[in-house]
Amino acid sequence: MKIKLISIPVRDQEKALKFYTEKLGFIKKKDEPLGGGNRWLTLVSKDWQDGPELLLEPAPNHFEPSKVYQEALMEAGIPWTQFDVQDVASEYERLTKLGVEFSTKPTEMGKVIFAVFNDTCGNNIQLVEEL
């Protein structure tokens, strides 16, 4: 068994595509219309283009429980998911310069350094560097 696809709920796929590609540096892999203005829109890491795909899922627009869960996580400050990076401090500096808003600055805890930012699409995302 292996992970091929994970999804992140977004309320605006075009806005999410712009944020995740232009600010975070992901690459668009698939972009197929599904009807009703929705798309099967996946991204991959530029450093691992054959790795798992990230689906920008428009679920909160069509499935109320998804919207409620997304809002509850955001209100509580809990990240939807995490992305591993080589150097959290460097990514924090790079993303801050691009206007990304962090709720948690780089913080060391045990064997990791982490930071949390708002993806502008309804989610907190955590960056993690293993020490």
**pLDDT tens per residue, range 76-96:** 999 999 999 999 999 999 999
76 sits in which H/E element: helix 64-76
Which pTM does this prediction carry? 0.94
pLDDT recorded at residue 82: 97
Structural contact between residues 18 and 33, judged by C-beta atoms closer than 8 angstroms = no
Q: How far is CA 106 from CA 87, 126, 130, in A?
A: 10, 10, 12
Handedness of CA 29, 33, 37, 39 (dihedral sign): negative
Q: Where are the alpha helices (DSSP H) in 77-131?
A: 88-97
Residue 108 token pair: 């060391």
- The secondary structure of residue 119, as a DSSP letter, is -
pLDDT recorded at residue 121: 95
Average pLDDT of the residues of the chain? 96
Q: Residue 47's CB: how many other CB atoms inside 10 A?
A: 9
108 pLDDT band (50/70/90 cuts)? very high
pLDDT recorded at residue 92: 98
**pLDDT tens per residue, range 43-77:** 999 999 999 999 999 998 889 999 999 999 999 99
Give the Cα separation of 30 and 28 in Å (integer).
Answer: 6
**CATH for the stretch 5-130:** 3.10.180.10
pLDDT recorded at residue 81: 97
